[in-house]
Chains A and B, each alone.
Chain A
Amino acid sequence: MALNPAFRSGAAAGLRAFVPVSVGFIPWAIVTGIAMRSSGLDAPESIGMSLLVYAATAQLGALPLIASGAPLWLIFVTGMVLNLRFVIFSAAIAPSLREQSLPRRIVGGFLLTDNAFAVLGPRLAETRDPVWRWGYYIAPSLYGWTLWQGGVLVGVFGAGFVPADWSLEFMGTIALMAMVVPMVRSRPMLLAALVGGLGAVLLRGLPLRLGLFVAILLGIVAGFLAERWNEKRAAP
């Protein structure tokens, strides 16, 4: 399977596209590792949490709840809300992985990240060969998982050594910005980004970080309506 030339060519192309963006993972992973230790988890618990959950926002969002002894249902609901954006990403990626077996789709689904979706999504959608597509998706996703767990280990064992005033966590934000800027090539796309971003700022007061989810939905609707309006105006 792994020796299939189409798989290998897909894997190589996927890694070439993904590796430069993946530098942004490292600081986030380290910061997540430090945050788990500083909220009271020991090293095996922190590592176990990262291996099982593999979601920076859900991990960081659940930590205060775990530390304060919140009920399990609230931890579950918070995790769902913080992960909700991935339902949208999953729907967009699903057609590209539909030929794969169920175990592969479960592994592929678990490994889906914001970065992988943003970087790999466009070429996945326009490539025909399912074997190439699987290589293009799964190789960078496994690499991203490994890099993430490595960064978490550094954070877990290095907690207390990195001065907080270095603001290294800002590299995660830089990585997200470096992804979104080349995407904004049309006015509807710019509108989607502005509505999503300003919406998240204005709706930050909503409980359980629901504001993030609502803002993303508003951004999608705004971009889509602008596209429809552009088309209507262009038509005679």
Chain B
Amino acid sequence: MIEGVWLWIAFLLLAATTLLTRGSFIVIGERGQLPAVILRALRYAPAAALSALVMPDLLLAQGEVDPFNPRLFAGLAVIAVALRWRNPWLPFIIGMGVLWAVQYLLPGP
């Protein structure tokens, strides 16, 4: 365990990573314009990044692909709801509802 002053130095280093990455191009500002072709490609960044954060959580259980994962059923329900309705609360209600129902019906080991 890192303790005392060293712990706070670790926090400051992590804070630096937050500023260096999130700040990067915003802080550089005027001098750091990216070429148009890169900016066009970056339009695909949100979908790719969000999906990269979501899919491992839906497909993996304890680090292995598990097609009978309750989170996968809940995720498919959320996608169906989000495709059909624009209500912002519905995905949470349906998603958590399906998750709890499947967890109850398919008890783990």
Footprint of B on A, CB under 8 Å?
20-21, 23-24, 40-41, 45, 48-49, 52-55, 58-59, 62, 66-70, 72, 75-76, 79-80, 82-95, 97-98, 100, 102, 105-106, 108-112, 114, 117-118, 121, 165, 167, 170-171, 173-184, 188-189, 192-201, 204, 212, 215-216, 218-224, 227
- Interface contact B14-A79, CB-CB below 8 Å: yes
For this complex, into which size category does the number of interface residues on chain B fall?
35 or more
Of B7, B47, B95, which one neighbours A189 at CB under 8 angstroms?
A: B47
Minimum CB–CB distance for B22 against chain A, Å: 4
List residues 52-85 of chain B with CB under 8 A from any CB of chain A: 52-60, 63, 65, 71, 74-75, 78-79, 82-83
- Interface contact A89-B82, CB-CB below 8 Å: no
Report the nearest B residue to A166, measured CB to CB.
Answer: B100
Footprint of A on B, CB under 8 Å?
1-2, 6-30, 32-34, 38-60, 63, 65, 71, 74-75, 78-79, 82-83, 86, 88-89, 91-92, 95-96, 99-100, 103
- Interface contact B47-A180, CB-CB below 8 Å: yes
Of A87, A180, A212, which one neighbours B21 at CB under 8 angstroms?
A: A87
7 pairs, A vs B, C-beta closer than 8 Å: A52-B15, A55-B17, A196-B52, A215-B48, A215-B52, A220-B44, A223-B44
With A and B bound together, what is the CA distance between A222 and B43 in angstroms?
A: 12
Report the nearest A residue to B87, measured CB to CB.
Answer: A20
| Residues of the B chain whose Cβ atoms lie less than 8 Å from the Cβ of A182 | 82, 86
Of A40, A90, A215, A221, which one neighbours B25 at CB under 8 angstroms?
A: A90
Report the nearest A residue to B74, measured CB to CB.
Answer: A170
- Interface contact A184-B47, CB-CB below 8 Å: yes
- Interface contact A174-B47, CB-CB below 8 Å: no
Of B12, B42, B89, which one neighbours A23 at CB under 8 angstroms?
A: B89
6 closest cross-chain pairs (CB), A and B: A219-B48, A109-B23, A196-B48, A197-B55, A20-B88, A223-B44
- Interface contact B23-A118, CB-CB below 8 Å: no
